[in-house]
């Protein structure tokens, strides 16, 4: 009996060690925080990821260099809720994927996919309008995982060029064209810096 207790205790210690957060960088050095994998893999960007049984309260991403929490499909970490993708719903307001699920219930995933063209963009210092993920890719090497989020929060909202040649934000489009026509006009308008992306 004592050997069985020792085996169970040892197994629990191993599980606890595996579940502990590992804060290591590319060369095994201690780091302040982990880095999301980005385009390199599934769930590489910060988000509330749709998958079977997903009920996340906090966004997360898969990480580089086995940094963060251990999981069956690789390392991961919770990330800043301000770093997740937002899309405009039918009401014209921005929501993240979790909020789409809550707002539309069973149709949340379908509605989220259908709003792909209505993704939020903000203006980077190079004059281009980027989605949150492209914005991260543009800034992360220079500013790190926390620094790019600060830059995102300070960035001006995207503007698009209307038929009259003037650049407007989404809110300006709604004011100029009205609720019903704004979406179609927005989707057909020129995006800042789009030719170079």
Degrees to nearest 5, angle at CA 66 with 61 and 72:
70
Beta bridge partners of 78: 60
Do the Cβ atoms of 64 and 37 come closer than 8 Å? yes
Rounded to the nearest 5°, which phi and psi values hold at 160? Answer: -125, 155
Residue 123 is predicted with a pLDDT of 96
Residues contacting residue 66 through CB under 8 Å, at least 6 positions apart:
22, 24, 74, 75
Beta bridge partners of 88: 94
User: Per-residue pLDDT averaged across 94-110, rounded?
Assistant: 91
Residues contacting residue 95 through CB under 8 Å, at least 6 positions apart:
86, 87, 88, 89, 103
What radius of gyration do the chain's Cα atoms show? 21
* 163-182: pLDDT as tens digits: 999 999 999 999 989 988 99
Pick from 18-32, 57-71, 87-101, 141-155: least confident = 18-32
Degrees to nearest 5, angle at CA 97 with 110 and 125:
120
* 20-68: pLDDT as tens digits: 678 888 888 988 889 999 998 889 999 998 665 556 789 999 999 999 9
**Nearest in space to 160 (alpha carbons), one of 180, 177, 185, 135:** 185
Helical residues (DSSP H) of 22-119, grouped into ranges: 97-104, 108-114
């Amino acid at each position: 009996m004592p050997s069985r207790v020792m085996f169970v205790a040892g197994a629990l210690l191993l599980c606890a060690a595996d579940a502990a957060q590992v804060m290591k960088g590319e060369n095994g050095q201690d780091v302040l925080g982990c880095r999301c994998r980005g385009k390199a893999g599934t769930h590489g960007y910060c988000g509330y990821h749709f998958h079977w049984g997903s009920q996340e309260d906090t966004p997360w991403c898969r990480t580089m260099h086995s940094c963060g929490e251990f999981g069956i499909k690789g390392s991961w970490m919770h990330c800043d809720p301000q770093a997740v993708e937002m899309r405009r719903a039918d009401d014209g307001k921005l929501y993240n994927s979790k909020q789409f699920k809550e707002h539309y219930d069973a149709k949340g995933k379908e509605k989220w996919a259908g709003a792909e063209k209505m993704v939020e963009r903000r203006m980077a210092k190079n004059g281009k309008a980027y989605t949150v993920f492209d914005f991260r890719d543009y800034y992360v090497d220079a500013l790190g995982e926390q620094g790019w989020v600060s830059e995102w929060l300070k960035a001006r909202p995207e503007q698009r060029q209307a038929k009259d040649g003037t650049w407007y934000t989404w809110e300006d489009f709604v004011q100029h064209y009205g609720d019903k026509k704004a979406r179609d006009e927005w989707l057909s308008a020129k995006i800042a810096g789009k030719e170079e992306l």
